[in-house]
Amino acid sequence: MAPRELNKSGGTIPDVTPEPALSTLPAASAAVASALPRRIAHLDMDAFFASVELLRYPQLKGLPVVIGGGRRTVDEALLAAHGERALRFIPVAEFPLLKDYVGRGVITTATYAARQFGVGSAMGMMKAARLCPQAIVLPVDFDEIRRFSRLFKSTIAEVAPRVQDRGIDEVYIDFTDVPGGQREGGRSLARLIQRAIFEKTGLTCSIGVAPNKLLAKMASEFSKPNGISIVYEADLQTLIWPLNVRKINGIGPKAGEKLARLGVQTIGELAALERQFLMANFGKASGAWMHEVAWGRDDSPLALESEPVSMSRETTFERDLHAVRDKAELGAIFTRLCEQVAADLQRKGYVARTIGIKLRYDDFRVATRDQTVQAHTADAQAIRKIAGQCLKRVPLDQRLRLLGVRASALVRAGEAPVHEQNKPSAQAGHAPAATESIASYPLFESW
DNA sequence: TCTGGGGTCCTAGGACCC
DNA sequence: TCTGGGGTCCTAGGACCC
């Protein structure tokens, strides 16, 4: 459950931090609310990854195209098959060594033509090949994607400066005080932004404008692609309540499933439930949050800037690996992940105090181990060493599917305390004890 | 056809301190 | 001596999102 943006305190006890006397507040305090009604837009790019590829290969327009991979092997295989990326477009079903290369790949985006066949994001490549064998496969070009992402976001910021980043292809925009932002409920400014983005990038997007982020997010899905939807508070019953609860940002598969078991399908049905009943079934914080969002209420502000909390690298192997039999291969991958995390930290200018690992076993169970040390670091060898300690505390008698390395408790490099000695933190809640299984794998020391 | 990678936030329990 | 708080830090797992 994720009541994150609405109910951070998570309890019923109000925050009793004393407020400064009114007279001590600066006259132009940022806290002074606008006199105008809040108009918040949610914008997301239409089939972003696929659309960027279509710009490069206009001859694919109208054809089903899937952008696949995310895994390096898939990308490399695709690039090899494509030669100069575009010598020949290969349908997914004809893809060379499909099983070996893309058996574990998933689709990042599909063009609307491919979606007609039921192909969609996060779907396995093999399934896509069955649903739409003629679909063209292209690898993800992350550099190009990032370039377009920066471009569309900077285009928006020129028009409306208060923007919250929501990932590579999405933003919230505060229309409230932008000149013209209130006209037609925000429609004319939305049109202007759509045009500006199209002129700069050649890409289309869909925009929803509403009194808050929650409703704006839902509104942006109403008319896709290249659509604009305007929602007012008064539209709650007609436009929002008929939707499935899964349309609420923060209600995922688990909560959706549980609500279904309680006989709740639509947001209207959710709104009809007593707050107390929801709190009893989903916990105090989540239950209260659900009740609020079902009634369209969300006063969370836009997060205009944010600091990263963690940086991680993980990889799914081409085949499941065994800790002992595939020790050399695993060790090399482990080292590479640590180097990548270190490089990411250094490139972005952060140091970390907590290093963690993540394993996915062949049965898809996940184990994580963390270790916090006293000195912040962005050094590959230091990270490798701490991550190695974590590895010793996790069972390794089962085949592994995925390995990951994570750095958290970040501070900007240069802002870390100077006199730090790198020893395990004395505060470790659970004493890092080696599990029994590691004892039977002494070779692990050399991972 | 078994299901990627990079994130954020929340919960719950134990250690430790006052 | 015993009991019981509150608060913070740390860890592990999990839900959810793009």
Residue with tokens 């969370």: A300
A446 touches strand B (CB under 7 A): no
- More confident: A284 or A235: A235
Mean pLDDT to the nearest integer, A410-436: 64
Quote the tokens at residue A362: 């062949």
State yes or no: pLDDT of A349 exceeds 50: yes
CA–chain centroid gap for A15, Å, is 29
At A10 the pLDDT is 34
Distance, CA of A289 to CA of A272 (rounded, Å): 14
- CA A408/CA A406 separation, integer angstroms: 7
Q: What is the CA radius of gyration of chain A?
A: 25
pTM for the whole structure? 0.86
pLDDT, residue A269, reads 98
Give nucleotides in strand B with any atom < 7 A to a protein C-beta: 1-16
Q: What is the pLDDT of residue A20?
A: 39
Q: What is the pLDDT of residue A34?
A: 78
Over the stretch A218-246, which tens digit does the pLDDT of each residue have?
999 999 999 999 999 999 999 999 999 99
Least confident range of A86-90, A93-97, A162-166, A168-172: A86-90
**Tokens 């069955």 appear where?**
A130
Confidence tier at A442 by pLDDT (50, 70, 90) = very low
As a whole-number percent, the residues of chain A with pLDDT over 70 amount to 80
User: Which of residues 71 to 130 on A have a Cβ less than 7 angstroms from any strand B atom?
Assistant: 71, 99, 103-106, 108, 121-122, 124, 126-127, 130
pLDDT tens sequence across A71-130: 455 556 666 666 555 556 777 777 665 555 555 778 889 999 999 999 988 888 888 888
CB-CB neighbours of A17 under 10 Å: 5
Query: Smallest Cα–C1' distance to nucleotide C15: which residue has it?
Result: A1
CB-based contact A176:A39 (threshold 8 Å): yes
Distance A371 CA to C11 C1' (A): 8
